[in-house]
Amino acid sequence: MAPKTSSATLRLKQDYIRLKNDPVPYVIAEPNPSNILEWYYVVSGPDDSPYAGGYYLGRLVFPRDFPFKPPSIYMITPNGRFKTNTRLCLSISDYHPDTWNPAWSVSTILTGLLSFMLENSPTMGSIEMTDYERRQLAAQSLESNVRDENFCELFPELTMVKFVNML
């Protein structure tokens, strides 16, 4: 008898297919190959922002009862907006289960994350830096990311950007 597939697994597989067919601008994401409840994403800094030229790695950790409960959201790459390796308090995260909508998808979460990144509203896990400091971190972001095993494994095309820029 085959093991029962959880509703979270089924939903995340559907979200992955939708995300590949209809990508979120400035964001790519991949599930951990050994655990579909853990995803990594990369936000590419929009040209008209202090994050331009930057690549920001982060992680989503979905609960077993997703989509009925929201994920935890983390930013791994130093970026000047959010603390690194800290659960972020966003209306789309597990800090606010009361505002969570089960109809929201991984694409919705990533779109919301980008929106929060581009504004300056203070929240738990946010930090304040100048645009100049954020541009400096953008320039250093690939260097930071290539030291991360998940970044190199899940986003090899971005790892190559680092080496092409060195030529």
- Is-contact 103 11, C-beta < 8 A? no
Could you list the beta-strand ranges (E) of 19-167: 27-32, 35-44, 55-61, 72-75
Residue whose pair of structure tokens reads 């791994």 in the numeric block: 76
Q: Does the annotation count 152 as an active-site position?
A: no
Kindly give, in sequence order, each residue whose CB lies less than 8 Å from that of residue 18, ignoring residues fewer than 6 positions away.
105, 106, 107
Identify the active-site residue in 37, 52, 61, 89: 89
Residue 15 has which token pair?
A: 């979200």
Catalytic residues: 89
